[in-house]
Amino acid sequence: MTNLNAKPKHARLAALVEKAVQETSVSDIHTHLYDPAFGELLLWGIDDLLVYHYLVSEAFRYLDLPYDKFWALSKTQQADLIWEKLFLENSPVSESCRGVLTCLHALGLDVKKRDLVALRRSFAKWKPQDYVTRVMAAAGVTSVCMTNSPFDDLERPVWERGFPRDERFTAALRLDPLLLSWKSVVPRLRDWGYGVQASLSAKTISEVRRFLADWSRRIQARYLMVSVPPEFQFPGKDDGAQLIEHAVLPHCREFGLPFALMPGVKRAVNPQLRLAGDGVGLTNLASLQNLCAGFPENKFAATVLARENQHELCILARKFRNLHIFGCWWFLNNPSLIEEMTRMRLELLGLSVTPQHSDARVLDQIIYKWRHSRKIIAQVLVEKYTDLADTGWVVSEEELRRDVRNLFGGAFERFCKA
Ligand code: HDL
Ligand code: ZN
């Protein structure tokens, strides 16, 4: 659909941009999806879509059911309740509810009838292995980066057994337990054969680096990552800051890998909501600045959770070429904020950013997360190219397709390889 607010003389340009955005495939650089080899860990289908933690927290606003009674229900019963509250008793206007409908519509299912039983029957006919191909095609996504934690007891054994990789699923090494609760992981690392102690001696640091090297190789990590609370500070004397400085950053330099920092999460502000219970806080980005300035040989990727941090994050990226910012993360993944952030980033950073990642936890979600974001990114690009055309600088189709490839994974690919 052509951008209606483009001046008529630029209608052709608008059509070219929208076509390029629709046709350019995406490399999704942060998701919680799993290679099909992980079996049940790869979530997909209508019930997983409905019990996604975003909808759980929204449904509880209409439920006076005690939390533990909800959690005692089966997945189907939880999905029934969420469907009733968020779709039937109230129109599904929230982004996560709209997203479910975008997925179903894109898969050719009839939502008009509002018949959840019929929808379940349709999904029952599909098998995960060919469903992955179908969903990635519908989403225009050719590669998804997983979030891989050696500390996840369901995931680790699969990696230790080894399996033939589906090359569409790349990996990122997630370090939250190591960096945020070091003392609790010491016994686990020792069980796995790493001779670490609670105190961060040189021997312990070198054993942590051996752990990082083993897992970076095992999963062929594209980058290392950690999500930190708003009060995260660097430099610091705490275990986390010390491990980042003396183990993670030297490891990343040795392996040429970016370190992705994801600040701003207040974990478990309402623990009764479980995965849905995390909140957001304003981060002091001086820590990110100190990392970028103090370690110019390291590459840092960052996505920050608070809307109010976004402008300063763009300015930091202007100051430090070893910082690549990405995504409209989690509570920011809504049309109004995606538009605001994408405009701000293009105006301040041009095309040296990755405007979006899906953060998908359910395979089908990449359909809606990318359809909704493509529409907004296209609209912003039309406006920016139209502004250029008004100066006499008309981008060619080849140039604008190059730019879109950059935004959809190319810039990050080059950043990782730099
Ligand atoms: O820490 C993260 O990577 C976040 O994305 C959390 O997983 C969060 O629960 C989420 O799914 N956000 O979209
Ligand atoms: Zn995530």
The answer to whether the bond into 235 is cis (omega within 30° of 0) is: yes
Task: Report pLDDT for 3.
Answer: 54
Q: Residue of the nearest CA to atom 8 in ligand 1?
A: 330
Token pair, residue 368, equals 């809606």
Distance 230 CA to ligand 1 centre (A): 15
Q: Residue of the nearest CA to atom 2 in ligand 1?
A: 227
Task: Report pLDDT for 5.
Answer: 57
Q: Ligand 1 pocket: which of 155, 227, 262, 333 to mutate (most atoms <8 Å of CB)?
A: 227
Q: Which domains does the chain have, with CATH numbers?
A: 4-38+146-417 (3.20.20.140)
Task: Report pLDDT for 128.
Answer: 81
Does the CB atom of residue 62 touch ligand 1 within 6 A?
no
Write out the chain's pLDDT in tens, 418 residues: 455 555 566 899 999 999 999 999 999 999 999 999 999 999 999 999 999 999 999 999 999 999 999 999 999 999 999 999 999 999 999 999 999 999 999 999 999 999 999 999 999 999 888 899 999 999 999 999 999 999 999 999 999 999 999 999 999 999 999 999 999 999 999 999 999 999 999 999 999 999 999 999 999 999 999 999 999 999 999 999 999 999 999 999 999 999 999 999 999 999 999 999 999 999 999 999 999 999 999 999 999 999 999 999 999 999 999 999 999 999 999 999 999 999 999 999 999 999 999 999 999 999 999 999 999 999 999 999 999 999 999 999 999 999 999 999 999 999 999 9
Q: Ligand 1 pocket: which of 29, 32, 267, 329 to mutate (most atoms <8 Å of CB)?
A: 32
Distance 400 CA to ligand 2 centre (A): 29
Inter-residue contact 179 to 243 (CB < 8 Å): yes
Q: Could you tell me where the DSSP H helices lie in 295-410?
A: 310-319, 335-349, 365-389, 397-405
Does the CB atom of residue 95 touch ligand 1 within 6 A?
no
CA distances from 232 to 141, 179, 262, 292, 316 (A): 33, 11, 10, 15, 17
How far apart CA 186 and CA 195 sit, in angstroms, is 9
- Which listed ligand is nearest to 229 at the C-alpha? 1
Q: Ligand 1 pocket: which of 359, 362, 365, 366 to mutate (most atoms <8 Å of CB)?
A: 359
How far apart CA 176 and CA 173 sit, in angstroms, is 10
- The mean pLDDT of the chain is 97
CA nearest neighbour of 410 among 336, 361, 335, 351 = 351
How far apart CA 399 and CA 396 sit, in angstroms, is 5
Does the CB atom of residue 365 touch ligand 1 within 6 A?
no
Tell me the CA end-to-end span of the chain in Å, nearest whole number: 37
Q: Residue of the nearest CA to atom 13 in ligand 1?
A: 330
Which atom, in ligand 1's list, is nearest to the CA of 265? 1
Coil, strand or helix: which one is 362?
Answer: strand
Token pair, residue 258, equals 């970016």
- Which listed ligand is nearest to 365 at the C-alpha? 1
Distance 151 CA to ligand 2 centre (A): 16
